[in-house]
Structure 1
Amino acid sequence: MKIPPYLLLVLATLLWGGNFVIGRAVSEDIPPLTLAFLRWCVAFIIFFPIAFHQLKREWRLLKRHWFIVIILSLTGVTAFNTLVYIGLHYTTSINASLMNSSTPIMIYILSFIF
């Protein structure tokens, strides 16, 4: 069954936005590191069966570039989500979403500067 791309885009937006809402809702009860860890455990359980064959095919490439994969996972996955959940402890999910939506322009500006 092939899912239409526009439905996948809507799903991605709902999951991304829901992350901020849920993160804010549980920010008083669950520490940010625990929340980030649990989020990625659930994502792993859901997506590993889907991605397994592609990972198996690309395993040599991943092994060859292991260092950059680790750096990207620590900064782009671990640090980002943990900092989002720390920030959600102090602000609303709307503010967090607005800050996150400014990321592309900030990347452009910083890329130009550096």
Structure 2
Amino acid sequence: MEYIEIEKGLIPYRFEISLSDAVFTFEIQYNSDFDFFTVDLERDGELLATGVKLVYGVPLFTDCKDDRFPQEELIPFDLSSTTQEVTWTTLEETVFLYVLEGDSDE
């Protein structure tokens, strides 16, 4: 299963990734006071979403589904079932941001 690698040592940082036949820019932030990560999303220079929290088992951008967003589901998940939360300790250790193909009926 494919996942998006998040390089915690570079946070805060931006990177580009190809999804849904488009190039998106992700900006990853970390809130050390409350131990959570957020994502900003851009496409073609247009800011689509800011401060979207990585929540275990919940697809990113679920409240923002239109054709500008990735059609794949991006879900923080632990295939080993070791944990059920996204924290500094778990992200990129057991929890990864998996890419699942979106609904092809659209």
TM-score range, shorter chain: under 0.3
Q: Which has the larger radius of gyration?
A: 1
The TM-score, its normalising length taken from structure 1, stands at 0.26
Whose strand fraction is larger, Structure 1's or Structure 2's?
2
Which structure has more relative contact order (CA 8 Å, sep 6+)? It is 1
